Amino acid sequence: MIINTLLILPFTVHFGLDGSYYTKDPAPKGSQFVRSQPIQVPAIPVDELKEVTENFGNKAFLGEGSYSRVYYGVLKSGKAAALKKLDASKQPEQEFLSQVSMVSMLKHENVVELLGYSVDGNLRVLAYEFATMGSLHDILHGADSLFHRGSVNSIANSTTNHDCEFEEP
């Protein structure tokens, strides 16, 4: 039984109840088709993202990466989010949505969860759960991290002053 049909030019993709998909139309010679499963997170309206970040303003700005800027906002769902505004890309929209589909299926206690996404022309935003302890880079290299030179020295000193027991494999 077909529950959903998605038109991806030049293909029509049909999704079944079990999450499977298939196409009826043959691929034209030389064309590429990006297969994707349904996206597991909601699309977030651009207007909501602009509202919660004050139009991606300085007050909400958290930091900048090699291909994005990150902003803080509380979504209408009530969840705090790190909103990753990707730099303009020439990547086709369907290819981007296929990648969003893959990331939306990642569920692990050690990985921040994708809460939603937004696509409006060249504007592409990914909303991740807000990591209250900061990024991995901040934790490893920041002044307040465990790996700050003074902290490492105090940890090393405290372990040398106490008996440590190790189990042999």
Query: For residues 127 and 122, what is the distance between their CA atoms, to the nearest angstrom?
Result: 16
The 3-state DSSP class for residue 91 equals coil
What tokens were used for 19?
A: 């999450």
Query: For residues 45 and 97, what is the distance between their CA atoms, to the nearest angstrom?
Result: 15
By the 8 A CB rule, do 75 and 67 touch?
no
Q: Is 84 annotated as a binding residue?
A: yes
Q: Which residue has the tokens 């900048």?
A: 64
What tokens were used for 143?
A: 């002044």
By the 8 A CB rule, do 104 and 40 touch?
yes
What is the identity of the amino acid at 1?
M
Binding-site residue set = 84
Binding-site residue set for ATP = 84
